[in-house]
Amino acid sequence: MTTTAKEEELFTIVDQGTVTSPKGFEAGGFHAGFKRKRKDLGWIISDVPAVAAGVFTTNSFQAPPLKVTQDSLVDGTLQGVLVNSGNANAFTGKKGLEDAYEMRKQFAKVMNLNESETAVTSTGVIGEYLPMDAIIQGINEIPNYQASTSGKHFAEAIVTTDKITKEVAVTCIIDGKEVTIGGAAKGSGMIKPNMATMLSFVTTDAAVERTALQSALNNITNRTYNMITVDGETSTNDMVLLMANGKAENLPLHEKHPDWLTFIGALEYVSQQLAKMIAKDGEGATKLVEVHVDGADSKEGASAIAKSIVGSNLVKTAIHGADANWGRIVCAIGYSGEKVDEESLSISIGPIKIVDKGITAAFSEEKTKQYLEEDTIHIFIDINKGNEKAVAWGCDLSYDYVRINASYRT
């Protein structure tokens, strides 16, 4: 879903919003020594236990911190989240799982939380054990930083190869109460649709029933985070966590609540913006690519075509070079797995019609090249078959992507 002006009337964007924009949330981050210089340990704490939901990577090698966090989510509440960057604690076997549980135990102890309501996650290099002495020392230093750090510092602490931090918050009215939703995410490389390689943390002071919260997160993830790609890689540590602490004092939200769609619209906007920031910040990327597919006979088909186009390395390199090689778009549609009639297919690059119902349009190569040199590229596909649509986001593929990933560990 691409948010329209009418939908944005349902909520207001918070200037410089963070995960602490909602009532009752604290967050922070600092340099604990896992990375050379940048912040690498961050946390979020709710004043009270929050109803929580999570979505996790589809990679069969789920990292130990994800297993610990899923264990904490069994009862459906969380009060604290601890994140370290620089080391993923992934593919680390029994010791890695023990270390993740110890990380949770120490954080809960220092912050006076229940272990069962505490989540942990890690991001960074795969296959190396956590430096547990540094982890524990860092956890014990958190109280010294609580007064001087903020949601901004949390967003800085969770990044790896990201060039920018990714934050957004909005407010909306539920039951006559102001409800706020805030989020922070990290992700730049190893990004692929189907639980993209990323971490996202979303907080809200809304009161929401547990099953409704999980259902909302599942559906919105499929329309946002699962519709982005950078390089077709899916990591071991991906997750989205959503915490709702009820501090706005609205009546608990559920699918039949009269303001449910208002809440869903605001939550989807936050998730979509974070997803787009990840796609735009792809490793080595210079352009955001947004693919709109219309006229499909199923949502699944529209999504498959959109993701096939943004995931095509040949499309991505053509966009990087501002080359209007639209045949690569046709190829990506053709191998998407969806049946598309050539005679009904229309393609536009930005405002420029390239193919009109199977017939190549007379278009200006020069004007198309000029458009492809812009920072954001829109590709419009019309199948002219049904009424379903989808949007996917990606980026161009540049020489810098190889340079960054050729020396990731060094």
- What CATH architecture does domain 288-406 belong to? Roll (3.10)
Across the chain, mean pLDDT equals: 90
398 pLDDT above the threshold of 80:
no
pLDDT value at residue 114: 98
Is residue 313's pLDDT more than 60?
A: yes
Please tell me the predicted confidence (pLDDT) of residue 238: 84
If one compares 399 and 64, the residue with the highest pLDDT of the two is 64
- Per-residue pLDDT at 59 exceeds 80: no
Q: Was domain 7-280 assigned CATH 3.30.930.10?
A: no
The three-class DSSP label of residue 190 is coil
- Range picked from 3-17, 111-125, 386-400 for highest mean pLDDT: 111-125
Contacts 24+ apart (CB under 8 A), 139-143: 139/41, 139/82, 139/103, 139/106, 139/107, 139/110, 140/106, 140/110, 141/30, 141/32, 142/28, 142/41, 142/43, 142/107, 142/110, 142/111, 143/110, 143/111
Which segment of 35-44, 139-148, 280-289 scores lowest on mean pLDDT?
280-289
- Asked if residue 266 has pLDDT above 70, the reply is yes
Active site residue 77: no
Q: How confident is the model at residue 230 (pLDDT cuts 50, 70, 90)?
A: low
pLDDT digits (tens, 9 = 90+) for 122-150: 998 889 999 999 999 999 999 999 999 99
Cα angle value 1/237/300 (rounded, 5°): 30
> Of 63-72, 127-136, 162-171, 191-200, which range is least confident?
191-200
Q: Residue holding tokens 């409800």?
A: 179
Domain ranges of the chain: 7-280, 288-406
Tens of pLDDT, residue by residue over 63-107, are 999 999 999 999 999 999 999 999 999 989 999 999 999 999 999
- The pLDDT assigned to 396 comes to 84
Q: Cα 236 to the chain's mean position, in Å?
A: 15
* Active-site pick, 20, 92, 160, 197: 197
CA distances from 261 to 176, 254, 389 (A): 15, 10, 19
pTM of the model: 0.86
Which residues touch 251 (CB under 8 Å, ≥6 apart)?
Answer: 175, 207, 257
